[in-house]
């Protein structure tokens, strides 16, 4: 994609490159580039460096610690981070609940939570989905009942990413039942160290356990942890989901991943022909690249609106649908390009510091786990089927 960058933008690009070169842990970047898992400490190390530079929250207003970057600067930063394989900024704090607190929180809530999100001292997780309440989120059953100056919360949340690392969780709970489902939901912040919370891992198809079941049994939460108004949580939830769906697009990361597929395709594995000579494979790769370029333009439009202070609308659903589908297509292409090198299941070899021997090239051991893990991208953040319903209503008026 060609943008007309000013001299100021070019200077900014060099500043970003220099910052990444000086601050990014090379081993962390290597592992990310090869699709291998990294630790919480690896991610936190990077986030603290971003925070110290004042670059942790490009999506926040400047008065709350945002960068005040222009559209092109946001684009340049994302592009350079993707190209350099930096850790992803954990979205639950800075991308999701941070904007919610800025828009709907009290001054006391802003002072209490926003600095800790910026400094990466406080990690968050999202308590939305429940067993039986995923795409139909309004059917959730976790209840919060007032008891003096507290809410008593009981229920179960599932598919809760990184709950085992989180200090805080933002949850949707039912505070009223004698009304439409959406009208009886509240948005509440919970300290994960509260008595009555237990976190159990869910092992996914790739063998990892980044998601969890979270059980809430008579958990006491102060009334001041309510965001916005009681029974108005659905309004807050929709605002948050718009920001989440935009972040799922991950154009810069997909560009890097697609370039990796091209590198693998150019190899003559075991004396065989390069996949660049395979018309069927190259047709799929080129179609994926064209879709990614189109998605990039759409993402820039949303970023441009955000810079002007406009929250994401129907475009968020478009980015979520296409972005998640492209991520799946890229992992499918990687799996196909890896051939039989993708077959061995080598989880021990993927662990940081492991001395287990690797069978085949290093990029091969992550291609199958990455493929399996990415099956979920079209589901989380609101399934793609739900996003298409949203578009039908908001854009087509159906």
**Cβ pair 298, 264 in contact under 8 A:** no
Give, in order, the Cα–Cα distances in Å from 226 to each of 181, 193, 249: 18, 17, 30
CA distance linking residue 24 with residue 36, whole number of Å: 16
**What is the residue-averaged pLDDT of the chain?**
91
As a whole number, mean pLDDT of residues 367-394 equals: 90
Please check the confidence at residue 1 and state whether its pLDDT lies above 50: no
Q: For residue 242, tell me if it sits in a domain.
A: no
- For the chain, the domain total comes to 3
In a domain, 243, yes or no: no
Report pLDDT digits (tens) over 307-339. 777 777 788 888 899 999 999 999 999 999 988
* Domain shared by 131 and 228, yes or no: yes
Is the residue at 168 inside a domain?
A: yes
Q: What is the CATH number of the domain that holds 255?
A: 1.20.140.10
What is the average per-residue pLDDT within 64-87? Answer: 93
Instruction: Tell me, yes or no, whether 363 and 255 share the same domain.
Output: yes
Both 132 and 51 in a single domain?
no
Question: Is there a domain that residue 115 lies in?
Answer: no
Q: The domain containing residue 180 runs over which residues?
A: 124-233
Residues 220 and 255 in one domain: no
pTM for the full predicted model: 0.89
Query: What mean pLDDT do residues 44-58 have?
Result: 97
Same domain? 382 vs 278: yes
68 and 196 share a domain?
no
């Amino acid at each position: 994609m060609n943008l007309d960058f000013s001299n100021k933008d070019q200077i900014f690009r060099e500043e970003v490159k220099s910052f990444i070169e000086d601050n990014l842990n090379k081993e962390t970047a290597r592992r990310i580039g090869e699709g291998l898992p990294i630790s919480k400490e690896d991610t936190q190390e990077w986030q603290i460096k971003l925070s110290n530079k004042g670059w942790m929250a490009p999506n926040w207003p400047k008065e709350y610690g945002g960068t005040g970057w222009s559209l092109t600067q946001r684009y340049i930063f994302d592009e350079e981070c993707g190209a350099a394989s930096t850790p992803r900024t954990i979205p639950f704090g800075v991308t999701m609940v941070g904007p919610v607190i800025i828009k709907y929180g009290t001054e006391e809530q802003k002072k209490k939570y926003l600095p800790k999100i910026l400094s990466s001292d406080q990690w968050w997780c999202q308590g939305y989905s429940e067993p039986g309440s995923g795409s139909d989120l309004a059917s959730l059953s976790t209840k919060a009942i007032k008891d003096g100056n507290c809410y008593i919360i009981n229920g179960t949340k599932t598919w809760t990413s990184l709950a085992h690392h989180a200090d805080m969780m933002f949850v949707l709970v039912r505070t009223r039942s004698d009304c439409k489902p959406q009208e009886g939901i509240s948005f509440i912040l919970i300290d994960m160290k509260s008595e009555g919370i237990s976190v159990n891992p869910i092992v996914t198809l790739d063998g990892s356990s980044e998601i969890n079941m979270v059980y809430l049994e008579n958990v006491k939460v102060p009334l001041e942890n309510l965001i916005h108004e009681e029974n108005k949580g659905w309004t807050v939830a929709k605002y948050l989901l718009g920001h989440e769906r935009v972040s799922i697009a991950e154009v810069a990361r997909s560009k890097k991943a697609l370039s990796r597929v091209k590198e693998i395709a150019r190899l003559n594995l075991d004396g065989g022909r390069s996949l660049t000579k395979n018309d069927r494979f190259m047709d799929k790769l080129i179609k994926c690249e064209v879709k990614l370029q189109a998605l990039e333009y759409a993402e820039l439009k949303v970023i441009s609106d955000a810079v002007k202070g406009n929250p994401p609308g129907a475009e968020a659903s478009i980015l979520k649908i296409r972005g998640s589908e492209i991520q799946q297509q890229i992992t499918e292409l990687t799996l196909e390009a890896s051939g039989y090198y993708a077959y061995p299941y080598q989880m021990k070899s993927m662990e940081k510091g492991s001395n287990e021997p690797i069978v085949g090239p290093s990029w091969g051991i992550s291609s199958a786990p990455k493929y399996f893990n990415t099956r979920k991208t079209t589901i989380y953040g609101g399934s793609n089927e739900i996003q298409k319903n949203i578009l039908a209503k908001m854009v087509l008026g159906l």
